[in-house]
Chains A and B, each alone.
Chain A
């Protein structure tokens, strides 16, 4: 399923990043940072809600609009029943759609919103996502103060909230096309190696996207996956070569390896993950490069791992999904 859009543009973005991200490679590029993992709240879950909510507030300020001017908000996060998203949005009275494709949330949101804007049903939409390192640790792994040893293939859930404004008013960056991902299962069941679980899904989506639009890899200045991490990135390059005979290594990168400084942030292991990881990198750094025309055509392919701790204990595999969105600088 690949669509092209005529009339959808990236308006503004807002990022609110946590302490680990503020010490990383993009520290000066975020709209707002906090050094408090609780963000002034009393629990990790409430902290995540606040990150998400504040990112929406920053975005509304930047675009100079009221909540009532927004036609639709699409949001997703990692917490059970999407509580971060719904509690962050409850005070704004937006028409709200909640989505889940784990760390691929943002592009699922963009695809839905872009299709509705392009179809003339709505004029604008906000896509919001969030994740919090410690609320994820609590839900998916161990209590946060428990010092469980983790292998170097494990990734580190990013902390932050990020929002994106899509509109039919012309701007510098255009949402050009998208490909909806398929669930891919190649038998990986190790939650400490999610890059390996998601890489084949990214490969499948990239391959179908290029094939549907009859494009080569070199059409894009940059192909960017979400949170495969150091090892997942190598796996994807190798897998694309072996499976599809496509060489992506010259114009490919992964958001999970761009957020933190691996030299002095050893705790991030294989790199960043979580829905907000790719959002923080794309909104703060990639769009900036597009506005400066350093990058003109990019393919964004955030990757999600679909599973729960319960289903893993019941010996099921981790499923991978990746949605692709092509964005271009408007000439």
Chain B
């Protein structure tokens, strides 16, 4: 049997992933995250009398802190596995990936463990974030003059 024919055989036995259900859960959870974020921005800007953009920074810090803390408590991975992109795409996913990597490699010590592995999953996000920021910054500079 060649590999094309074998692939057909495998596809026949492959269970269907529930994409619509996953997308719906991610949509709802992601939406709830958005509502929580907006609520925090409004609350911070009213409470401390600061601008919306300053309040947004505090909102991000709050969500990152909560995601890190819940990961450390050991139940956030179950939430992420359930909500999938609903919690991975928001800033909580980034915080979760860094905390989980940090926790995993602490046994190997602060340098060869945590230090060199904490960006194991998040490194790609940072790298391509910087690359795309630079690319689009250059495009904007060249076309719109800054």
Contacts and interface: CB of A to CB of B under 8 A. Distances in A.
Interface of A: 42-43, 138, 142-153, 186-188, 193, 196, 200, 231, 234-235, 238-239, 242-243
A239 B79 contact: no
B100 interface: yes
Contact of B6 (A43, A187, A231): A187
Closest 4 CB pairs of A and B: A147-B80, A187-B3, A147-B77, A143-B104
A281 B33 CA distance: 44
Contacts of A193: 10, 14
20 contacts: A43-B107, A143-B104, A143-B120, A143-B121, A145-B77, A146-B80, A146-B96, A146-B97, A147-B77, A147-B78, A147-B79, A147-B87, A147-B96, A148-B81, A149-B81, A150-B81, A152-B17, A153-B14, A153-B15, A193-B14
Interface size class of B (residues with CB under 8 A): 20 to 34
B13 A235 contact: yes
Given A145-B71, A147-B80, A186-B3, A42 B9 contact: no
Contact of A146 (B6, B17, B77): B77
Given A145-B100, A147-B78, A239-B1, A152 B10 contact: no
A242 to B, nearest CB: 7
B21 to A, nearest CB: 12
A153 B103 CA distance: 28
Contact of A144 (B3, B100, B121): B100
B40 to A, nearest CB: 23
B76 interface: yes
Contacts of B3: 186-187
Contacts of A187: 3, 6-7
B34 to A, nearest CB: 20
B88 to A, nearest CB: 8
Interface string B1-33: 111001101101111010000100000000000
Given A145-B77, A239-B9, 5 more contacts: A143-B100, A143-B104, A148-B80, A186-B3, A243-B1
B15 A231 contact: yes
A191 to B, nearest CB: 14
Q: Which of A147, A231, A243 has the most CB of B within 10 A?
A: A147
Contacts of B96: 146-147
A153 B11 CA distance: 11
A313 B78 CA distance: 26
Nearest to A234: B13
A242 B1 contact: yes
